Amino acid sequence: MKDAETGFDCVLESPLGRLGIRLQAGQLSRVEFLPDTVPLQVPVSLFASRVAAEFEGYFEDAQQRFSVPVAPAATPFQQRVLTALSAIPTGQTRSYGELAVQLGSGARALGNACRHNPLTIVVPCHRVVGASGIGGYAGHTAGPELQRKLWLLDHEGVDLTPLKTS
Mean pLDDT, 10 residues at a time, the chain of 166 residues: 72 96 95 94 96 97 93 89 94 92 91 91 93 82 87 92 66
pLDDT at 131 (0 to 100): 84
E-strand stretches of 65-165: 94-95, 128-129
Same domain, 129 and 82: yes
Query: Does residue 158 lie in a domain region?
Result: yes
34, 17 contact by CB (below 8 A): yes
Supply the pLDDT for residue 73.
Answer: 85
Q: 119 by DSSP, 3-state: which?
A: strand
Per-residue model confidence (pLDDT) at position 166: 47
Q: How many domains does the chain have?
A: 2
In this structure, the answer to whether residues 161 and 91 fall within a common structural domain is yes
User: In this structure, are 85 and 55 located in the same domain?
Assistant: no
d(CA 59, CA 19): 12
Query: Given this model, what pLDDT does residue 3 score?
Result: 56
User: Distance between CA atoms of 48 and 99, rounded to whole angstroms?
Assistant: 32
Please give the Cα distance from 95 to 130 (Å, whole number).
5
The CATH number of whichever domain residue 98 belongs to comes to 1.10.10.10
Q: What is the DSSP letter of 17?
A: E
Measured distance CA(142)–CA(83) in Å, rounded: 26
Which residue range is the domain that position 52 belongs to? Answer: 10-60
Which residues have a catalytic role annotated?
125
